[in-house]
Amino acid sequence: MQIEDALELFVTQLEADGRSPHTIAQYRRHIRLLAGWAAQGARSGDVGNLDHQDVARFLVAPVARTRPDGASKKAASVNALRSSLKGFFGYLHRAGLTGQDPSRLVRPALGTGGPPRGLSDAEQERLLAVLDEAEGFEDRRDRLLFRLMLLSGVRLGSALALGGSDVDPDAGELHIRAKGGSEQRVFLPLGLASELAAWCEKLSDPAGPVFTTRGGRRLSGRHVQRRFQGWLARAEIRREASPHSLRHSFAMRLYAATSDVLLVKEALGHRSITSTMVYARVDENRLRQGVRSARARHRESRWV
């Protein structure tokens, strides 16, 4: 079976599993990269003929290690590619379409770096300050969208999928479709929930999409990305950030306030606590303060 044919079977399974369009598009992109590499090297495109050495050669090839502009890929991008290969070949092997799993020896790349980078407290204040100056439909819509993401941690895709009927202002809740198609209840500050409900009532279709263009069409993620960059510039935040940084900011703030990684897991809707543990890494200042506090309390102890 050719790689492209096997990919279509895999995509059908992903769709049946409720995986998001973004996730499926990433799998397609990565597996087609493998198919192109195999074709250029005059190798067989039959998945049954690929072994672990072929996968290893692909992973060290420039097409897998560098971006289109020639720069080296970051470890996170390399790991995403490796995860796609393991998912693809693991499915083929479990489905009985191949006699072996050629990705069985693939391991995560080293050097994934520190915890996710959210906005600092000062950056969040500057962003909220310029958002509060919003005038006109698009600016006020952006203000509501970005405040929602910052105060609840919802993903951009889940926020853009919201309909007016998903907002419960009395309970201060949202009912969202989370990653993987699962349903999730999100708690909001009551003021924000009321603001969302009032916004929906002013739309041409109060039960339709919450975040739309002027013409009433649901916003696209790409459009929101462009708008967010404009707001960063207004707030004089010059480092790299994206709407997803707001989700990271929420998670980091919640963990700093509670020190409860299980609570953060539930708030973010993570399936596995492994995904949440990145927010629980101890920074240097917190470690230094903890050590000093321990010494102050136990100065007379022989253990210090």
Q: 258: how many CB neighbours lie within 10 A of its CB?
A: 12
How many alpha carbons fall within 13 Å on the CB side of residue 275? 12
pLDDT of 128 above 70: yes
Give residue 287's pLDDT.
59
Distance, CA of 149 to CA of 174 (rounded, Å): 12
Residues 13-27, mean pLDDT to the nearest whole number: 86
- Tokens at 302, concatenated: 């022989």
pLDDT of 87 above 90: yes
Residues 10-19, mean pLDDT to the nearest whole number: 89
Per-position DSSP letters for 205-230, written without gaps between them: STTSBSSB-TTSPBPPHHHHHHHHHH
Q: What is the DSSP letter of 95?
A: T
> Where do runs of H (alpha helix) occur along 153-243?
156-160, 190-202, 221-234
- Tokens at 279, concatenated: 């927010």
162, 176 Cβ separation under 8 angstroms: yes
69 by Cβ neighbours in 10 Å (0-12 / 13-18 / 19+) ranks as exposed
Report the b/e string of 109-148 with b at 16+ CB within 10 A.
Answer: beeeeebbebbeeebbebbbebbeebeeeebebbbbbbbb
- Tokens at 259, concatenated: 């020190």
Mapping DSSP to helix (H, G, I), strand (E, B) and coil, where does residue 260 land?
A: coil
Which of 29-38, 244-253, 285-294 bottoms out in mean pLDDT, i.e. has the lowest? 285-294
The model's pLDDT over 34-63, given as tens digits with 9 standing for 90+, comes to 999 988 875 667 888 889 999 999 999 999
- Tokens at 85, concatenated: 């290969």
For the chain, percent of residues with pLDDT exceeding 90: 50
> Where residue 304 falls among pLDDT bands split at 50, 70, 90?
very low
pLDDT of 77 above 60: yes
31, 10 Cβ separation under 8 angstroms: yes
CA dihedral 13, 17, 21, 23 (to 10 degrees): -90
Question: Please, what is the average pLDDT of the chain?
Answer: 86
The model's pLDDT over 170-181, given as tens digits with 9 standing for 90+, comes to 888 888 876 666
89, 98 Cβ separation under 8 angstroms: yes
Give residue 115's pLDDT.
63
CATH, domain range 3-94 = 1.10.150
Sorted by where each begins, the domain ranges of the chain are 3-94, 121-280
Q: Where are the beta strands (DSSP E) in the chain?
A: 167-168, 173-177, 183-187
CATH, domain range 121-280 = 1.10.443.10
Give residue 303's pLDDT.
43
DSSP H or E stretch at residue 53: helix 52-60
Which of 74-78, 105-109, 219-223 shows the highest mean pLDDT?
Answer: 219-223
Residues 21-38, mean pLDDT to the nearest whole number: 91
